[in-house]
Every structure is written in structure tokens, then in C-alpha cells.
Structure 1
Amino acid sequence: MRAIDKLYIKRPFFGTRKVRQHFGINRKRAQRLMRLLGLEAAQPRRSTSRPAPGHKVYPYLLRNMAITRRDQVWATDITYIRLQHGFMYLTAVMDLYSRNVLSWRLSNTLTGAFCLEALDEALGRARPEIFNTDQGAQFTATAFTSRLERYGVAISMDGRGRALDNVFVERLWRTVKYEEVYLRDYADGWEAEKSLGKYFDFYRTERPHQALGYRTPMAVYQGG
């Protein structure tokens, strides 16, 4: 599964057909592995991130928007982190202007609790004008959206099947996996959490970003 995840990060437009051709596996196995990892080609198509029945879906607000200041737009997403035996789910809240990771959480299930914990931690520091998510049930849940609405935050949601609508968080996952996850072999969730904590501290305060003029996310965020 790690090999498929690496390929997807390099070629997010690859669907099941190209994955099975690349690895020489049959269609059903390719579909099963991609579904297990929550992967889909980054192009308009049916999405695996679906709102729960009865959950409200909000419009996408970021198209053609210039992001010019911190706390203008925050975004979140979920990815998987492979362990020696099984895997866990990682979520993070990012300020898009500075690329600063405001909070993150690991969970062994896809229930919404860990996403809400990450949101609450971030909201304890500041308030965004807009918060962008995909249409996953964790983010369309009333507990999540009502928390944002309580603070007067406008909610934006990616179009169905449009992975590139949340491209900054997708780039974060690519960076985290190539610079941290793929270099480790986490024995368990505790080890993963400890190592990821060190990495996120490095990412925020020491790792320069070309797009930020070779400043760190924290320096840009604190500088406004």
C-alpha cells in the first residue's frame, strides 16, 4: 500500500487503470487498495468523501480568491499514516496564507471526534474568515459546522471529486510523507504521534518554504 500511496502523491491523476498497469495487479485488487487508502484520481468524478445523509453541503468559496493575509482562510483534510501493523488517520488545520499548521490529530478511526479536537485547538488560538474542507461526513457533521458558525466563520467545501480544490493541504501531505512518514517505520500509534509531533515542530519553525520567500510558516504567520 505504501508504494501505491507514493505513486499517488507523484501522479494524483492516476486512476485505477493506471495503478493496476503500473504495478501489474488486477483491477479488483487495485480498486480495493485505493479504496482502503481513500485515494481517487484528482479530476472531476465521483468522490469517496461524501456527506452523511441529511448533512448540509456548503458552496466552494475560494475559486479565484487572492489569499493575502493570515487567518483569511484555513483548511483541513484527512490522510492515512501507515504503521507496521495497520494504519491511522491524520488530520491537520492549516492557515493557507502562511502554510502554518495550527493543529493536528491522529486517530485509529474515521469518526469526527479527532477532527473536532483539531478544530477546537486551532480556534483556541485565532479565528479564520473562511474555513475550507472537503465534503466528508466528518466535516459536514453538525457538530463541526455549528462550531464554525458559532464563531461567525464562513464555511467553504470542495466540489465533489475535485481534489485540487484543497491543493495546499494536499501539498502538506506530500511533504509530511516524503520528509517524515516514508523515512520511518512506526511500530504503533504512540510512536507515530511522537515522531510526527517532532516533525510538525520542525515544519512550522525551521523548514523554509520557497513560496514564502524561504521563510518558515511560523515566521510568516506571526508576521501577519
Structure 2
Amino acid sequence: MIEPGHPNLSIGQQCKLLSIARSSFYYTPKGETEQNLGLMRRIDEQFLETPFFGFRQMTWHLRNDGHLVNEKRIRRLMRLMGLMPIYQKPNTSRPAKGHKTYPFLLRGLRVDRPNQVWCADITYLPMRRGFLYLVAIMDWHTRKVLSWRISNTLEAEFCVEALNEAIHKFGPPEIMNTDQGSQFMSFAWTDRLRRSGVRISPLGRFAVQIACRAMDGWERSLPRQHLYREAVAHPEIRVRLPACLGDRIRDEGGHREMDDLLQPSAPTLSPRRQAPGAGLLAEK
């Protein structure tokens, strides 16, 4: 666009006409340093093995390998390389049309004992062909997965089966906290809770950002990280899932404590200040 040998216009005049600084014309882009190129090669190798790693998990992994890097640097390099981690995209949390509305009961409530509040949610599991649905019920205080079921349909039946098992094993909770998906607003689900004397507390758009972080954050990362590498067949999932749903420790993915996820203030949710090697997220 700028012609250095223009017979009538100098380079400065051409830059002025184009509304750019003359220094921009003379600037020579610098390539990445040898150190950054080495990091990019290491990131590429690791990303092929764990395509679910975002920049935070990748930073944690590189630090474990002895690289002195921060999150900003790894985020820039991953963007430069065009690497986008696999993460949950389908949304099953849309309110069912015409369902009964319930009040949100957790605002200002202190959860300090088991069986006080349970939460449940549905997530996706990748398969060789298509995907399955996983529903898990978790005790909010102990962070323990009480029961779970998988299904190839989104009918409410498999959710109710998981609920029946959890109530049979641990007794009914005081409050059940879920999103407003059709499975959790169905008659079969709500009737089972009412017959057990459980108060229903569905989440609105704002409340879901605060109250269901424990369930949402766990489901977005944990099961997939053990299943994405090899999209296992349906029978194999039943064998592999118990290990995924048991006590969850900070493993190679650098998972966060559930206590951090439950803080009401959004800025405290970032794991960047948490040192690697945190303890168990679930209590037996």
C-alpha cells in the first residue's frame, strides 16, 4: 500500500494519508524466542495427548515439568497456535415450558452439615459414535457423589433412578438444588422429592451462576478428562466411571478445590492463586 519510491509522495506523507504512524512502516516484526518456540513444541505435544487442557491446566503441567511460565504467557502462545480446548457446549439447563415455579432457598443459607443440601445435574460423555448422558447427585457439604446413572436418552427415568438410590442409601436431604431442566421439573422427579419431604430449590439465571458452581465446574472437566483420550464403548464407561466419580484429587489436570468454586464472589473463582498439590475435593 505504501510505495517507498513514489515520485510525488514521501513515505511520511503516505503514512499521514493512511492515518498510520511512520514508525509502523519501518517496524520489523520479531519472531518468537528460542525459549518460546520450545514451549510451543511442548504445548503442541501435550495438547495432542490432552486436548481438554486450557491455558491454566497447561501452565500447571508445564510448571510441573520445570518450566518457569505464567498463565498470560501460555494463553498468548496457545492463541498464537490456534489451540482451543475441548469443553462442554450443549446446554440442557433450559427451563421446561409450563412447569411449576419454586422459590430459590439457598440465598443466605449456610450449608454446614451432610444431607442438608443436595445438587444434581446432567452432563455429556463422548463416545465412539455419539454421546451418552450422565446424571450425578452430590452432597453439597461433603462434595461426595452419592449416586449416578448413564443413559442414551434425556428422559427423566434415569434421573429418578439415581435419586431413588441416593435416598435409599443416605436418606432424603432437606433441600434439593437443580437447574430448571425438564428432567428435574418433571412430575416423576418432583413427586419423589415431595413424598420424601424434600424442599425443591431450582436455580434461576442469576442463581445458577452462584449456587451450582460446584456441580457445573466438576461436570465440565472431570468425567471427560478420563474419557476423551479414547472414546470408550458403552460397557467400558460403567467400569471407568466409578474411579472418576469417587474422591477427586488434584491430578495432572490441576483441579481446584470445591470450596473455591462455592465462594459467592466471582473474582475468587480463579484458580491461578492456588498452589498445585491441593488435597481431596471429596470426603469419603
TM-score normalised according to structure 2 size:
0.56
In the alignment, residue 82 of structure 1 is paired with which amino acid?
P
- For residues 47-105 of structure 1, the C-alpha deviation after alignment (integer angstroms, 9 at most, x for no partner) is 8512243x212121112221100111000001111112110111100000010000011
1:87 to 131, 150, 161: 131
| Cα separation, 2, equivalents of 1:6 and 1:115 | 29
Matched residue type, 1:170: D
Pair 1:116 & 2:160 matched: yes
Structure 1 stretches lacking a partner, 5+ long: 11-22, 24-33, 40-46, 220-224
Checking the alignment, whether the CA contact within 8 Å between 1:52 and 1:140 is kept in structure 2 is no
Matches within 5 A, 1:55-70: 55-70=99-114
The TM-score normalised by the length of structure 1 is 0.69
**2 CA distance for matches of 1:157 and 1:6?**
31
| Higher normalized contact order (CA 8 Å, seq sep 6+, divided by chain length) | 1
In the aligned structure 1, how far is the partner of 2:132 from the partner of 2:224? 17
- Whether 1:181 and 2:181 are equivalent positions in the alignment is no
Deviation at 1:192, TM superposition (A): 1.8
Deviation digits for residues 19-73 of structure 1 (CA, Å, limit 9, x no counterpart): xxxx8xxxxxxxxxx9x9424xxxxxxx8512243x2121211122211001110
Deviations 1:106-155 (A, max 9, x none): 11111111111110010102210100011111011111001111111111
Q: Tell me which residue corresponds to 1:153.
A: 198
* Letter in structure 2 aligned against 1:63: R
Q: Is the 8 A contact 2:257 2:281 kept in 1?
A: no
Partner of residue 183, structure 2 = 138
Q: Distance in 2 between matches of 1:172 and 1:51?
A: 24
Match for residue 197 of structure 1? 242
Mapped pair 1:72 → 2:116: yes
Aligned residues: 183
- 2:247 touches 2:282 (CA, 8 Å); kept in 1? no
2-structure distance, mates of 1:161, 1:38: 19
Q: CA deviation at 1:169?
A: 0.4
Identity over the aligned pairs, expressed in percent?
A: 36
Structure 2 segments unaligned to the other structure (5+ residues): 1-49, 58-81, 250-254, 260-277
**CA shift for structure 1 position 217:** 2.5
What is the one-letter code of the residue matched to 1:129?
E
